[in-house]
Amino acid sequence: MVIDSDLALLAELEPEAGRLLDKHLASTKDWHPHMMVPWSRGRDFEPGYEWSPEECDLPDTVRSALFINLLTEDNLPYYFRDIERMFGRDGAWGTWVRRWTAEENRHSTVIREYLTVTRAVDPAELERARMAQMSGGKVPEPPTAADGLIYVSLQELATRISHRNTGLALQNHDRVGYDIMRQVAIDENRHHIFYRDMASAVIEIDPSMGVLAMERQIIGFTMPGDGIPGFARHAKAIAAAGIYDLAAHYEQILKPVVLKHWGLETLTGLTPEAEAARERVLAHIEKSGRVAQRLAQRKQPLVDA
């Protein structure tokens, strides 16, 4: 059930949602998981089978990224529940929510089939973790539609970065895996663009509402995944490898989206409460930049082929 206080905003935004949905569909090209998975590399799992890392030559950090990326996608039923709650099931909003869900489900399908065929991760551990993740159903729950659009704008871009960098880390080990993660990242970027531009429409209608939502969602931002067993350990490994860390969050999300695209520093007509919130967000971003600079000096970036 959509929050009553959001009904007027969502109605005002619906024409833009329809326009951006049409733009998304026009830019999307069909692709099929069964055409990307290297089935010829598969074989039966015999009774008593025990997995060994030697079955697939990958760094542990890449295994961690694949593990977290897939299990995050697997929690899709709960994301759908909350996105439908925020935006509704009717009109352009409902059409978008269902289309987004179908595309995200395709991501979990192709990554799972790839991991199963290549045995890149322990399939028994993966299944136990899937059961734990989905049984818990833990997901972010933004309190308003404006919060939801801000959060998902950031989260979808962060997911694109994580998938893309996982692919880059795979490219010297398995070109098929690289191609799969690249395709998933392309989809995630299109999702990000829809949400980013919808958030821009919120900011144009009511900049104070947008800034207050930014404060709630940017400060303390975390990726979904708290319910994944071993999430903190895997996230630490992923960050250490430069697949997704604070430096990426600052350079590829906070600066280009919050500061540049949403123009946080130059917004006008803010209420005193929103003005104070803007100052807190800018201070948070500045601090993130200092930490990101120190982290970047310690690492070599992933390089695309």
3-state per-residue secondary structure call for 77-119:
HHHHHHHHHHHCCCHHHHHHHHHHHHHHHHHHHHHHHHHHHHC
Q: Does residue 189 have a pLDDT over 90?
A: yes
Q: Which CATH number is 4-41+55-298 given?
A: 1.10.620.20
Q: Please name the residue that has the structure tokens 């089978």.
A: 49
Question: Which has the minimum average pLDDT: 130-139, 143-152, 262-271, 273-282?
Answer: 130-139
State the angle between helix axes of 123-136 and 60-74 in degrees (0 to 180), rounded to the nearest 10.
40
Q: Does residue 169 have a pLDDT over 90?
A: yes
Question: Which has the minimum average pLDDT: 184-198, 212-226, 258-272?
Answer: 212-226
Cα–chain-centroid distance for residue 276?
Answer: 29
Comparison of pLDDT for 279 and 140, the residue scoring more: 279
Nearest to 20 by CA among 194, 186, 187: 194
Burial 120-158 (b: 16+ CB within 10 A, else e): bbbeeebeebbeebbeeebbbebebbbbbbbbbbbbbbb
Neighbours of 105 (CB within 10 A): 15
**Rounded CA gap, 138 and 228, in Å?**
9
**How high is the pLDDT of residue 176?**
97
pLDDT band at 102 (very low <50, low <70, confident <90, very high): very high
Residue 53 corresponds to which tokens in the numbers above?
């890392």
pLDDT band at 4 (very low <50, low <70, confident <90, very high): confident
Count of residues making up the chain = 305
Evaluate whether 204 touches 197 at the Cβ level (below 8 Å): no
Evaluate whether 234 touches 83 at the Cβ level (below 8 Å): no
**How high is the pLDDT of residue 296?**
73
Q: What is the pTM of this model?
A: 0.94
